[in-house]
Structure 1
Amino acid sequence: MRVVHSELDGVLLFVPQPSHDRRGLFTRTFDATIAAEHGIDATAFRQDSQSRSQRGVLRGLHGRAGRGESKLVRCAHGAVHDVVIDARPGSATFGAQASFRLDDRDFAHLFVPAGFLHGFQVLTEQADVCYRIDVEHDPTQDLAVRYDDPTLAIEWPLPVSVLSDRDAGAGSWTDLRDRLS
């Protein structure tokens, strides 16, 4: 497994090395030893979740207040354009963003440390996204920022086809930034 360090401190991309033969492929999608070598405690994950969405659907931008939550995210079926934003006050990359393609061809896992906002848009007809999260969900700690916030100017690859009511009503990056600072 290859590990790619993002330009955002703590954000890692774990890229498996599938073995292909006439039957198809086999790949290790997670390795606790390799994760530990990069500072991730595999035993800390408390919850596994999965979403299924159609082309153009956008989920996010979501985060958690308080101690936050770390996530290990992968696309088990289809492809998504995944975006993370550093929302850690005092971080050298506070407010910076990075994007990644997660798909069922490369099987990359994106590690999103606590203190980041996260969202994705579905690029294929359908996509299943799996998350391993290190804290139990507490809705009172939910944070959300609008996907089309002009200050962030995120370049989503497709027109947005569907948003949840929560995401459509999310606040601005400026308001969240001021609350966090």
Structure 2
Amino acid sequence: MHVRSTPLPGVLLFAPSPHRDERGFFSRTAEARTLTEAGIDPAGFVQDSQSRSRQGVVRGLHGRTGAGEAKLVRCSHGALFDVVVDARPDSPTFGQSATFRLDDDNLASLYLPRGVLHGFQALTETADICYRIDAEHDPGEDIAVRYDDPELAIPWPVPVSLVSDRDATAASWREAVPYFRRHGRGFSRAR
């Protein structure tokens, strides 16, 4: 498994080396040694989750207030356009985004540190995303920024077919920035 840095500090791409043959493939999706060498505590993940989306569905841009949460995400079925927005006010890339294609062919996993916003769009008829999360979910800490915010200008690759009511009425980036600046230490601090 190879670890690659990304344009956003702390966001890492883990690229496995699947073994393929006429039967299909076998691949490790995470290795404790590799995670540890990258500065991630593999034992720190307390929840695994999965969601399925139909083509064109956008979920996000979501984050967590308080201490935040770190995630390791991968696409287990289909293909996703994955988006990360740096919402850490002390980061040199605050307000910048990075996009990635995660799919069931490249099998890559993306590590998202605390203090970033995350969203994705399903590119295939159905797409499953799997999350390893290092904090138990507290709905009172959920935060969202509009997926179609003009300042962020996320280049969603296919027409958006559906978003949740929550995502459709989320705060704009401009509305959220004062919150991030005011609560940045709590929003992005490590546990």
TM-score, shorter chain, exceeding 0.5: yes
Q: Which residue of 2 aligns with 1:160?
A: 160
Q: Which residue of 1 aligns with 2:95?
A: 95
Deviation string for 1:51-79 (max 9, x for gaps)? 01100000000000111100000000000
What secondary structure sits across from 2:25 in the alignment? strand
How many angstroms apart in 2 are the aligned matches of 1:85 and 1:118? 7
How many angstroms apart in 2 are the aligned matches of 1:96 and 1:164? 24
Describe how 1:43-122 pairs up with structure 2 within 5 A.
43-122=43-122
Across the aligned residues of Structure 1 and Structure 2, the Cα RMSD in angstroms comes to: 0.6
How many angstroms apart in 2 are the aligned matches of 1:122 and 1:69? 23
Match of 2:11, as an amino acid? V
Match of 1:30, as an amino acid? A
How many angstroms apart in 2 are the aligned matches of 1:116 and 1:107? 22
Alpha-carbon shift at residue 90 of structure 1 (Å): 1.0
Q: Which runs of 4+ in 1 moved over 3 A?
A: none
How many angstroms apart in 1 are the aligned matches of 2:61 and 2:9? 19
How many percent of aligned residue pairs carry the same amino acid?
62
Alpha-carbon shift at residue 120 of structure 1 (Å): 0.1
Q: Give unmatched runs, 5+ long, in structure 2.
A: 182-191
What secondary structure sits across from 2:132 in the alignment? strand
Q: Which residue of 2 aligns with 1:174?
A: 174
The reply on whether 1:148 has 2:148 as its aligned counterpart is yes
What secondary structure sits across from 1:163 in the alignment? coil
Alpha-carbon shift at residue 15 of structure 1 (Å): 0.5
Q: Which residue of 2 aligns with 1:9?
A: 9
How many angstroms apart in 2 are the aligned matches of 1:91 and 1:54? 34
How many angstroms apart in 2 are the aligned matches of 1:17 and 1:57? 29
Alpha-carbon shift at residue 165 of structure 1 (Å): 0.9
How many angstroms apart in 1 are the aligned matches of 2:98 and 2:83? 6
TM-score, scaled relative to structure 2: 0.93
Match of 2:160, as an amino acid? V
Deviation string for 1:119-158 (max 9, x for gaps)? 0000001001000100001111111000000111111001
Aligned pairs, number? 181
